[in-house]
A and B are shown apart, each in its own frame.
Chain A
Amino acid sequence: MIVEALIKIVALLLIVLTSVAYLVLLERWICAWLQDRIGPNRVGPLGLLQPLADVLKLLLKEDIEPTAAQGWYHWLAPVISITVAISALAIVPFGASLVLGGHTVNIAVASGVNIGVLYIIALTSVGVYGITLAGWSSGSKYSLLGGLRSSAQMISYELTLGLGLVSVVMLSGSLDMTNIIHSQIAGGWNILRAPLGFLLFITSSFAETNRQPFDLPEAEPELVGGYHTEYSSMKWALFFLSEYANMITASAVMTVLFLGGWHVPFFDLSSMNPIAQAAIGVGAMAVKMFAIIFFFMWVRWSIPRFRYDQLMDLGWKVLLPLGILNIVLTALEKTYLL
């Protein structure tokens, strides 16, 4: 059991960390294509070794610690950010469980967590600590303001995120990620059953992952750099990586909650051998996640950033009431239609 868990943890970490590095490259490519440019193509064939060069550069850069920084808190902040971003992925089932010679293998680091959805909400709120701590421990007033601003933003969107989740929980009657997928296979994807919930969830995910148009934590024009102004080299890169890891987590959670997880519609897989079934399931999950990540990037290079007060208005005056409306609608749907 422990060996199996360790293998899964190492595999997940390796996959997430490499894909994070390559998502940075992908983002630069998409940005370039949307602007009629070509994008990074210098390092290696087609520019595919660019992430390697970036990582090498970041590792070799001098690590500057400001004299006013609060010692090890300054170190802790990026660690919290990246840890939280990755550990939320632990309970995401990437495929249906696989039966090999009488032994059941779950394609998730921690499967059968019956409070899965609560775990996700709890962890995403801890992510705020990383940012606030970074702002405070830098010993710079600008970083402090940036950190406070982002924590205010993230907290106000967490409510909508939670309300979006409630509709899924109502429809599936379970907090377990695997059960949620099974209920979607039986009754149709949640994006069709609760479209408003999906809209609210994806909107607040943008704010949660600090992506444009809600990337106020690092709004350079107003703040210079926000909470990570005083960070350099690999410590800074950890914040950067955690943004992308967050994006992977958000897309995985969204796929599981609204897009039916590993489910392939209009296609009966039950006659295939279990390994092929699992591979197709994981593939379907990956394709859905990629589609969401592409959407994240597409939006980033299309929509300008919100002003701080506009963001607050949207969060508290528009999305929160809509979230409550969504719950009422889902309740009516559940009572009269399903």
Chain B
Amino acid sequence: MSLWERIYLPEIARGLFTSIKHLFRPKFVRQYPEEKWDAPASFRGRPVLVQEDNGVERCVACGLCSRVCPPLAIEVQASETELLKERYPVRFEINMLRCIFCGFCEEVCPEEAIVMSQDYELTFRKYSDALYGKDKLLTPKAKLKDRLEFLRQMRTSK
């Protein structure tokens, strides 16, 4: 350190001057609750179930997602159906207090039926509110276009 720096006070004054300059600078933070952030397609938000255009879920209740889930957050109960795909989940529940947003469920899903959405706003007031059933999970395919397109690109590029 030079003598000027070792006197210390001039350097303090310089530091103070640096910080006071910021009082007059424009603020560049996002006004979050009013200004939302648009997540990119690669973002892993909360997992959702893809709902086909005819209102039926893609899921065939194979249970792979539930099997692969590290924190054991997913519970699937299968039943049979008259539709071409033959099986469907009677109950599909993700405990959002357990979910760690790892995306393994999406990776393992053979039907591309469970995907990570762009939704990052998750708050609950009660434990029971954190159990997401089919009512909260099913999301129309149109809304998940970006993510589905992103996944397709990821798979073809491999």
User: A: which residues have CB within 8 A of B?
Assistant: 33-38, 298-299, 301-303
Contacts and interface: CB of A to CB of B under 8 A. Distances in A.
A38 B27 CA distance: 7
A36 B16 contact: no
Contacts of B85: none
B29 A303 contact: no
Contact of A302 (B15, B26, B28, B29): B15
Given A35-B22, A36-B26, A38-B29, 18 more contacts: A33-B23, A33-B27, A34-B23, A36-B22, A36-B25, A36-B28, A37-B27, A38-B31, A298-B16, A298-B19, A298-B20, A299-B16, A301-B19, A302-B16, A302-B18, A302-B19, A303-B12, A303-B15
A37 B23 CA distance: 10
B97 to A, nearest CB: 23
**Majority DSSP secondary structure for residues of B touching A:** helix
Residue from B18, B19, B26 having most chain A Cβ neighbours under 10 A: B19
A36 B18 CA distance: 12
A37 B18 CA distance: 16
Contacts of A301: 19
> Which of A34, A38, A299, A301 lies at the interface centre, i.e. has the most chain B CB atoms within 10 A of its CB?
A34
Contacts of A34: 19-20, 22-23
B32 to A, nearest CB: 11
Interface of B: 12, 15-16, 18-20, 22-23, 25-29, 31
A43 to B, nearest CB: 13
A188 to B, nearest CB: 23
The secondary structure that dominates the A interface is loop
A254 to B, nearest CB: 17
A33 B44 CA distance: 32
Contacts of A36: 22, 25-29
Contacts of A303: 12, 15-16
Contacts of B20: 34, 298
Contacts of B31: 38
Nearest to B17: A302
A33 B22 contact: yes
A38 B22 CA distance: 12
Contacts of B25: 36
Contacts of B18: 302
A38 B32 CA distance: 12
A35 B23 CA distance: 8
Contacts of A33: 22-23, 27
A113 B149 CA distance: 80
23 contacts: A33-B22, A33-B27, A34-B20, A34-B22, A35-B22, A36-B22, A36-B25, A36-B26, A36-B27, A36-B29, A37-B29, A38-B27, A38-B31, A298-B16, A298-B19, A298-B20, A299-B16, A301-B19, A302-B15, A302-B18, A302-B19, A303-B15, A303-B16
